[in-house]
Chains A and B, each alone.
Chain A
Amino acid sequence: AQTVTQSQPEMSVQEAETVTLSCTYDTSENNYYLFWYKQPPSRQMILVIRQEAYKQQNATENRFSVNFQKAAKSFSLKISDSQLGDTAMYFCAFHNNAGNMLTFGGGTRLMVKP
């Protein structure tokens, strides 16, 4: 079974600054996908970024980028130029080849301060 750990229950950052959210996972698989989802108070889970394990290049989506360290089983999310609308819960999630579901971490609550 896979496990996903987010060690930072809460984080805060000043508007326009950069913040990094941590995620580690445990798996014996070699090929899998990793995701970061954002969940604002409206509750809808919104996909932020995803990384395919067989790709060495780190994924980027505008202000969001990841630092994927496969050997260390680490998958952190960097948010640049933080905006007030980035305030939300952020969940790291794992999807392997064999399974059909996402395994989520416990989440990090991010607050962007004006």
Chain B
Amino acid sequence: GAGVSQSPRYKVAKRGQDVALRCDPISGHVSLFWYQQALGQGPEFLTYFQNEAQLDKSGLPSDRFFAERPEGSVSTLKIQRTQQEDSAVYLCASSLRRDSINQPQHFGDGTRLSIL
């Protein structure tokens, strides 16, 4: 069956440009998560959706970061006025139920973002 799909796989942008990263979760999965993984480090939580509702955005590093999931399925992570420190792999994960603690998170392959 299809897993979590992320696009693009690689994105190169110039400092100051806006970028949009897409995540297609597993069909029927209620919960969706975004993580940021800097080179050589573990992923760090950015934000969480339950269906279309963004219930936690405490991990977003600045107001340049914005995420949406308008129909409760596909999600987009947008970064405005990119900076070099935004260079990282952005991972998306989804889980089946509202109570995600009892359901494992399934991860996509990530988008590697490089800011020049």
Residues on A close to B: CB < 8 A? 4, 6, 32-33, 35, 37, 42-47, 50, 91, 93, 95-97, 99-107
Q: Which of B1-45 contact A (CB under 8 A)?
A: 3, 31, 33, 35, 40-45
Which of B35, B100, B101 has its CB near the most chain A CB atoms (within 10 A)? B101
Given A42-B109, A44-B110, A104-B43: 11 more A-B contacts, CB < 8 Å: A43-B110, A44-B3, A91-B42, A93-B42, A99-B56, A100-B31, A101-B56, A102-B45, A103-B45, A106-B41, A106-B42
Could you tell me if B104 and A100 are in contact, using CB atoms closer than 8 angstroms? no
- From B35, B43, B56, B106, give the contact of A100 (CB < 8 A): B56
B residues within 8 A CB of A33? 101
Could you tell me if A104 and B104 are in contact, using CB atoms closer than 8 angstroms? no
Could you tell me if A45 and B42 are in contact, using CB atoms closer than 8 angstroms? no
Complex Cα spacing A46 to B42, Å: 14
Could you tell me if A50 and B104 are in contact, using CB atoms closer than 8 angstroms? yes
Complex Cα spacing A104 to B110, Å: 16
Which of A35, A43, A93, A95 has its CB near the most chain B CB atoms (within 10 A)? A43
Which 10 pairs, one residue from A and one from B, show the smallest C-beta to C-beta distance? A104-B42, A45-B107, A101-B45, A100-B48, A43-B110, A44-B109, A47-B104, A106-B42, A104-B43, A43-B109
Interchain nearest-CB distance for B83 vs A (Å): 22
Interchain nearest-CB distance for A112 vs B (Å): 20
Complex Cα spacing A96 to B107, Å: 19
Could you tell me if A44 and B104 are in contact, using CB atoms closer than 8 angstroms? no
* Contact status of A102 and B109, CB under 8 A, knowing A45-B43, A45-B91: no
Complex Cα spacing A37 to B43, Å: 11
| B89 at the A interface (CB under 8 A) | yes
Could you tell me if A44 and B108 are in contact, using CB atoms closer than 8 angstroms? yes
